[in-house]
Amino acid sequence: MKLFKYIALRVKKYLNAFLHLFYPKICLHCGSTDIIKFQVLCPNCHAQLPFTDFFEIENNNVDKIFWGRLAAGPSGAVLFFTKNSIVQLLLFELKYKQNKRAGLLLGNMIGWALKKASRFNKIDFLIPIPVRKITERTRGYNQSLLLCEGIAQVFPIPILPTVLFKNKKTNTQTRKDRIERGHNTTLLFGLKNTDQIYNKHLLLVDDIITTGATAESAGRCLLQAKPASIQFAAAAYTLS
């Protein structure tokens, strides 16, 4: 037994040292060692994050994106995205640096915002916007699913990652304007196990919302299964 404990301790020690190699315990943005939650940002950088407060505001900019395009319920994004900002850094780490902690932190922020806002009192399931299988394999995960996991850590709602899936690449998605893309929505996403979401309140989750084309396509696809409502949450919002 003693030997077992000894081995377990040694393994833990090496594992920590190994993880430290890849995840040095410093602030991603300024390099400070004064790090907080998930060891991503120091309190100083965290305090500089540009929160939108959209979740609490009716008819906010994200709500407006869906007007006339998708019968979406309350929607929001937690942070403003700007170039060369801490928000851009967090999203870059999430998408291209396999930094799961950045994703969980952003997910937590969405979760806290949802908890605070009374507009979001009916959510049965979190639905991550899917990425293609090949992207998921390269990245190691779907970033929207990671955001959902971060949300669920602070606002426990079940995640349904298997209902909505992304179809293989079509040549219709680039260099098309929003209207043209709207006509091709059924090509982007597919549905399975639709009975799980029938008459349920869904919260679609994505990392960033700009024109809303992806969210609109995913939302339209989900509507085929007749859910009670589709709401939308993103980590960041940016003007198109």
Residue 29 in contact with Zn ion, rule: CB under 5 A: yes
Please tell me whether residue 208 adopts helix, strand or coil conformation.
Answer: strand
Which region, judged by CB under 5 A, interacts with Zn ion, from 35-43, 129-137, 177-185, 198-206? 35-43
Distance CA(105)–CA(37), nearest Å, equals 8
Residue 27 in contact with Zn ion, rule: CB under 5 A: yes
Question: Which of the residues 63 through 102 are near Zn ion (CB under 5 A)?
Answer: none
Residue 32 in contact with Zn ion, rule: CB under 5 A: yes
Tell me the CA end-to-end span of the chain in Å, nearest whole number. 61
Kindly state the number of chain residues that form the binding site for Zn ion, as judged by CB under 5 A. 6
C-beta of 93: minimal distance to Zn ion in Å?
Answer: 13
Task: Select 9 or 30, whichever has its Cβ closest to Zn ion.
Answer: 30
Residue 46 in contact with Zn ion, rule: CB under 5 A: no
Torsion, Cα 90 95 101 106, to 10 degrees, reads: 50
Which of 42, 106, 147, 203 contacts Zn ion by CB under 5 A?
A: 42
Which region, judged by CB under 5 A, interacts with Zn ion, from 37-45, 83-91, 176-184, 207-215? 37-45
Distance CA(175)–CA(181), nearest Å, equals 9
Distance CA(240)–CA(237), nearest Å, equals 9
- Whether 77 and 234 have beta carbons less than 8 Å apart is answered as yes
Task: Select 45 or 90, whichever has its Cβ closest to Zn ion.
Answer: 45
C-beta of 37: minimal distance to Zn ion in Å?
Answer: 13
Distance CA(68)–CA(66), nearest Å, equals 6
Could you give phi then psi for residue 34, rounded to 5 degrees?
-85, 70
Strands 189-191 and 164-166, by their bridges, are antiparallel
Task: Select 90 or 146, whichever has its Cβ closest to Zn ion.
Answer: 90
Which of 40, 45, 109, 213 contacts Zn ion by CB under 5 A?
A: 45
Q: Which residues bind Zn ion (CB under 5 A)?
A: 27, 29-30, 32, 42, 45
